[in-house]
Structure 1
């Protein structure tokens, strides 16, 4: 959710705007006067320039009427009223005698003298300009909120009021536990005496921890909206500048602003940008960030009490925060904002669907069941995509079909209908995806198939998407082995149908997934019989806080054994997939033919096809070629196993 934001604290105006405008226009007027005085107004035309020798000849001829003599110029008028000008020759002392002899009237002039006041103004102009720039810079420094050109040390915290839209707990759905945990802060802000008279102290800070898009910022705004108190918001990166000490100054200024508006809430988003472990840098590379963090620690729990100021911060990386920031007296509480479960997703969908005209067939519970792992932001995006699809199809209501298509687009990517594939490539893709699907059907621990397609989506030429029947919070060993087998199904299908030499590169993402899963099983989850329940690898923050790296706690012999165990797991999954597809090769052909015919099949359609040898599609008049399952190819009963979801598997 984006919000319009006001100027920092209402104290950043810094003066009468009418006076400022008057000073600006006054300066422009003075500058124009100086320019006019320096260059003067329009002068009388000096006349035609002639040579000094021609001037002397005209004097001798008697054609000159009058002359004005200046040290650097001679001008005059001829008897025919024509004006002229010329430059005298130095040392011609006989000119006046010649003029008298010819009867020419002449006079002399002194050099033009500039006005004393004008000279003073011109000389003082550079100093006035410097003083003006200094005055402007000082005014900018005095501005609140750091918006001025020189306001480096001012806080960039924005004060949000109800004019930007009041948010309450009614707008926050799907995270009931986190909301209840923060309800106490709301009660304190409404009535502090209720807690203080019993000697209780409200927590000074609350740290919201959760994945991106789970609603941490919305939850913080809801606290301020419920308590009806000022709400300051700032990002952790806003404290950090290239100048050492600026961040600490901004922290001090932020708390000064908060004290003037207490009781209030200060929300620091992405606090890990400034609150990382101290001492990770080399030399002075992190002095600015560490000074900022030190100042924040002092302001939160130093000698001076900040009564009525509640600090709420949000991060999705609590593991990198400095321990001093998390101790009691600072961020007393860590509130986990989790990915919503199915009930939470249904409530979130209901909130976002209020803004969309819905068709009668829309069932939020069905959509919530098919979107495990979706955050609040993901669900909002899903509703928006469905509304956009309905608008492109010129519909007045958003129907369930738009939500299904939007879910496929979000989870699997947009269809690349313009991509032209040859018949051989389509056949290869159909058997590849059919291999994934057949293995998934016969692996008891595998999640049920939601949809299989050979239409290119995103970066994949085809896809088999599986969805769990319910939200999973941990995975069992049998499920991991099943996932390894399913990931190998596409590659094995290519080997069986097209032969060893015709295996394609389409299984690259499958191989990567299987290798990563097997490595985690061996090195992190203790699922290797030879290595035992020990951790051999640990993810940690990269060099100078850049990215993630993996640290291995093992010697050369153990590393060799780890690699062998990973290879055994993946090759074991490959053998398991080979056995299943060899046993059910007739089903592999049947499903591949159906995918070539229809391009996209749902999980229920795949189940019906494998059970009955055909499917009835109302959109197409004929079903695929009927192939009866052979003996020993019994199809497991689907029950609740079909129609549920996981991240896309297969290439």
Structure 2
């Protein structure tokens, strides 16, 4: 055994004089005799359960007999050839594995770490040395370990130089140089980045730093990536944001210039005049407005007729009225009658996303009109740009209106250009726009009366084939409040209905269908209504019809139905005998009585506990009428002839005391309660007729006014075909009945 240990020691002496091998052998043998020798002094003996490395790195266990185990392994190594190269490699491998294990076990022992690193450098394993040192604790690293680190870097550099020379011989020099330079930079960045501060080259001594030079004489520059400071990061962010802002600013400027260029390109092409083919013959139902505008036509035809005595013709005309009354058609008829160019523009067409485009388009429009003077400029929906200016508005919002004011009556006024504007909201227009010298002539274009409706219906019916039974007078009387556009739509719906029914001409039934569809809504034929609900609706509508038929001052019943239309499950329609220009107190009280008829009928038939919410719209109408009578029209003796409707304070609340408010509420409640009592009295007297009329409604679903009167034993209504003297009329009343929710609110117009 002593001779075996001596042979091992001799082998280790040959391996670059590393005495550590002898100590390792002493640890593996572990005998007391050998541990006391000079070579084994200070070495801890190997425990009986520790593993030993074989030639392939596999460990074996000595089972408590380390000496015999070691002897067997060493004998195996010696048998394979102690004098050959194989035995030398085996001993080197065993020594490295043992040193590595020792270094891992004693991580805070600098000497053991140094011995292992020296052995790695001797075996030309620089990458292992570099990675090992970079993972060490800073407290363990000594100057000798740093020297080993520098030595490993030199070895790695030498390997890279050899590799570079080899690659340069196989590829062109330029591409190879870039590749190896990049690899060199990556290597040195990996070697020095993210390591402990004690490993930075600045902490090495002079000899170590000098030793980091290239073996070929070229000096190697080691790059260490430093984290940017907070100041650098702030400036970098500012530069990025400033660059992005400048880029977006330039892009927006280019887009704006191109957009404006497209807008300004061929300015006069965008406002080309149109030759109107309409004349006053195409405009019917608005005779008063036509007479007012005839003077404008004469001025455009013969301007010298009005200027020979120094007079000046009106520059602007404002057409006011509800939608669909023919304001645009009147403007086209003026241009067609006078034979002058017609420029059309809508108020919403002037504004764009870019500031100043609206003012520019106003200038272009008037410049084009001046070139074609005399001519007409028609501005439809002028309230879009001519609304009252507010000091809080932005400047660009007022630029278009200011330019329009300047063009109409500014320093360079427009001669021979007549501006006609139309609006549905004249109250919102700026006063500077409607003053004399601009839009100074105001013409109201109302809904047509009975005579006007008859003319409009005849005009449109002449364009479609009609049956001989069509009576235009009956249609005109039954369409109060219809505008010209509504009447045109009525004829169109009737023509479509006749076409769907494969008829050769439009008959009266088609026109009645179209009228009911416009006034009452589309029939909901797919609605699933139970028999009980249908019966309740029939009694509800019968109550309205009976109260309307037996109340003095109520409008005649035009039609009663239990067919669901719109949001209502049934309704009773009332129409006046002719055009109504005002409402009397008697008519208002009668209207309130009719509103209460539906709820009273439900109460009489089903009891107080079974009334429904179908009368909500009826109560709303009755309350609205009573409120206006007391607060607005002075029809209450207790409150007096005072209008409280529009007397409000800064917070929008009416200006009145508590006593006045209580008096008003009391009068409103008294009027509605009186109406309920009147309706209950009438239905109690005619309860038998209530059952009869409800049964007829259930069977026929829809009854005309004369059919209702016949069931109630009343004579048929006299039809006043037309009333030429009436200028305005009152909207027909729709008694929305049982509707399942809040009911259908009906509107009416009064003076």
TM-score by length of 1: 0.71
- Looking at structure 2, the residues matched to 357 and 493 of structure 1 have their Cα atoms a distance apart, in angstroms, of 45
Aligned partner of 1:407 among 512, 515, 527: 515
Provide the rounded CA distance (Å) in 1 between the counterparts of 2:537 and 2:250.
75
| Aligned residue in 1 for 2:748 | none
* Structure 1 CA distance for aligned equivalents of residues 254 and 423 of structure 2: 42
The answer on whether the counterparts of 1:447 and 1:641 sit within 8 Å (CA) in structure 2 is: no
SS in structure 2 opposite 1:417?
A: coil
C-alpha distance in structure 1 between counterparts of 2:463 and 2:451, whole Å:
20
Aligned partners of 1:204 and 1:330 also within 8 Å: yes
Cα drift, residue 530 of structure 1? 1.4
Is the 1:264–1:310 Cα contact (8 Å) retained in structure 2? yes
Q: Deviations over 1:416-469 (max 9, x none)?
A: 111111111011100000000000001121111111000111110001001111
Alignment of 1:531-546 (within 5 A): 531-538=639-646
Structure 2 partner of 1:646 = 732
User: CA separation in 1, counterparts of 2:285 and 2:721?
Assistant: 26
In the aligned structure 2, how far is the partner of 1:641 from the partner of 1:436?
24
Q: Is the 8 A contact 1:468 1:646 kept in 2?
A: yes
Aligned match for 1:592, one of 672, 694, 711:
694
Tell me the distance in 1 between the aligned counterparts of 2:570 and 2:380: 39
Q: Which residue of 2 aligns with 1:3?
A: none
Structure 1 residues 400, 483: closer, same or farther in 2, change over 3 A? Answer: same
How far apart in 2 are the matches of 1:605 and 1:558? 47
Is 1:141 the equivalent of 2:263?
no
SS in 2 for 1:589: helix
Matches within 5 A, 1:222-621: 222-240=333-351, 245-278=356-389, 281=390, 284-285=392-393, 287-538=395-646, 552-611=654-713
Cα gap change, 1:137/1:642 in structure 2, threshold over 3 Å: closer, same or farther? closer
Q: Which has the higher strand share?
A: 1
Asked if the contact 2:271/2:368 (under 8 Å) is kept, the reply is: no
CA 1:200–1:447: 2 relative to 1, 3 Å: same
Richer in helix (by share): 2
Taking the TM superposition and a 5 Å limit, the aligned residue runs for 1:100-179 are 138=257, 140-144=259-263, 158-162=271-275, 166-179=277-290
Which of 69, 72, 77 lines up with 2:175 in the alignment? 72
1:213 equivalent in structure 2: 324
CA separation of 1:257 and 1:357: change in aligned 2, threshold 3 A: same
Shift of 1:70: 6.3
Contact 1:416 1:458 (C-alpha < 8 Å) held by counterparts: yes
517-526 or 176-185, which deviates more = 517-526
User: Which deviations, in whole Å up to 9, do the C-alpha atoms of 1:15-70 show, x marking residues without a partner?
Assistant: xxxxxxxxxxxxxxxxxxxxxxxxxxxxxxxxxxxxxx99x99xxxxxxxxx9966
CA contact (8 A) 1:453 1:462 kept: yes
Q: 1:423 to 1:219 in 2, by over 3 A?
A: same
Residue 603 of structure 1 contacts residue 642 of structure 1 at CA under 8 Å; is this kept in 2?
A: no
For residues 337 and 131 of structure 1, do their structure 2 counterparts lie closer, same or farther at Cα, with a shift above 3 Å needed?
closer
Could you list the runs of 5+ residues in structure 2 that have no partner in the other structure?
A: 1-161, 185-213, 217-248, 723-729, 738-751
Name the CA distance, whole Å, in 2 between partners of 1:389 and 1:564: 51
The question of whether the paired residues in 2 share the 8 Å contact of 1:537 and 1:551 is answered with: no
The answer as to whether partners of 2:454 and 2:472 remain within 8 angstroms in 1 is yes
Which structure's relative contact order is higher, taking Cα pairs within 8 Å and 6+ residues apart? 1
Equivalent residue of 1:340, what SS? Answer: coil
What is the SS of the residue equivalent to 1:590? Answer: helix
Distance 2:528 2:172 in 1: 94
CA RMSD in angstroms comes to 3.7
Distance 1:289 1:533, change over 3 A: farther
Whole-angstrom distance in 1 between the partners of 2:250 and 2:546 = 82
Distance change >3 Å, CA 386–CA 158, structure 1 → 2: farther
- The separation in 1 between residues aligned to 2:620 and 2:694, in whole angstroms, is 24
The SS at the match of 2:733 is: coil
Rate the CA distance shift 1:539–1:594 in 2: closer, same or farther, 3 A.
farther
Distance 2:511 2:532 in 1: 33
Change in CA separation of 1:68 and 1:589 when aligned onto 2, cut-off 3 Å: closer
CA distance in 2, matches of 1:156, 1:488: 62
Residues 1:135 and 1:315: Cα distance change in structure 2 (over 3 Å): closer
Q: SS at the partner of 1:648? A: strand
Distance 1:640 1:216 in 2: 31
d(CA) in 2 for partners of 1:391 and 1:200? Answer: 56
Aligned to 2:740: none
Asked if the contact 2:286–2:452 (Cα under 8 Å) also holds between the matched residues in 1, the reply is yes
Q: Computing the radius of gyration over CA atoms, which structure comes out larger, 1 or 2?
A: 2
1:190 alignment partner, one of 301, 304, 315: 301
Distance 1:238 1:457 in 2: 38
Q: Is the 8 A contact 2:556 2:705 kept in 1?
A: yes
Partners in 1 of 2:295 and 2:552 — Cα distance? Answer: 47
Give per-residue Cα distances to partners, 1:484-520, cap 9 Å, x unaligned.
1101110111111111111011111111111112111
In 2: Cα distance, 1:325 partner to 1:226 partner = 27
| Counterpart Cα distance in 2 of 1:307 and 1:223 | 18
Do the aligned partners of 2:383 and 2:428 also contact (CA within 8 Å) in 1?
yes
The offset of 1:379, in angstroms, is: 0.4
Q: How far off its partner does 1:209 sit?
A: 0.8
Number of equivalent positions: 511
